[in-house]
Amino acid sequence: MFVRDGEQCWFVRLSEVRLFEISAGYTQIYFDTHRPLIPRTLQHLEQRLDARTFFRANRQQIINLKWVESIEPWFSNTLKIRLRGGPEVEVSRQQSARFRELLSL
């Protein structure tokens, strides 16, 4: 995918993207050491991403399942996912149930 943030541009393989996250009306893309913003909604991206690789963790974040480093139980039957080289993501209660089902946990 082509990503432009101000005057910087990148060609980014989707496999390199760890996380998509809403930030002030834009979507922030986490890849390598970069975190550019793009003018797309998560809903727009989610419709175009492969559901076998990308998972909507909550209203603000979509994670790349191939970057999951660890999964731990969290409050109220939810999950916390740590991504390799990236942040921790709290999975919503509804999506935690879907995630467990998806990965047969």
Q: pLDDT band at 105, cuts 50/70/90?
A: low
CA distance 24 to 26: 6
Mean pLDDT, rounded, for 70-89: 92
Contact between 21 and 61 under an 8 Å Cβ cutoff? The reply is yes
- Cα-Cα-Cα-Cα torsion 30, 33, 37, 40, nearest 10 degrees, comes to -30
> Domains (ranges, CATH) in the chain?
2-103 (2.40.50.1020)
In this predicted structure, the answer to whether residue 102 has a pLDDT above a threshold of 80 is yes
In this predicted structure, the answer to whether residue 5 has a pLDDT above a threshold of 60 is yes
CA distance 30 to 86: 8
What spatial distance separates the first Cα and last Cα of the chain, rounded to whole Å?
A: 32
In this predicted structure, the answer to whether residue 44 has a pLDDT above a threshold of 60 is yes
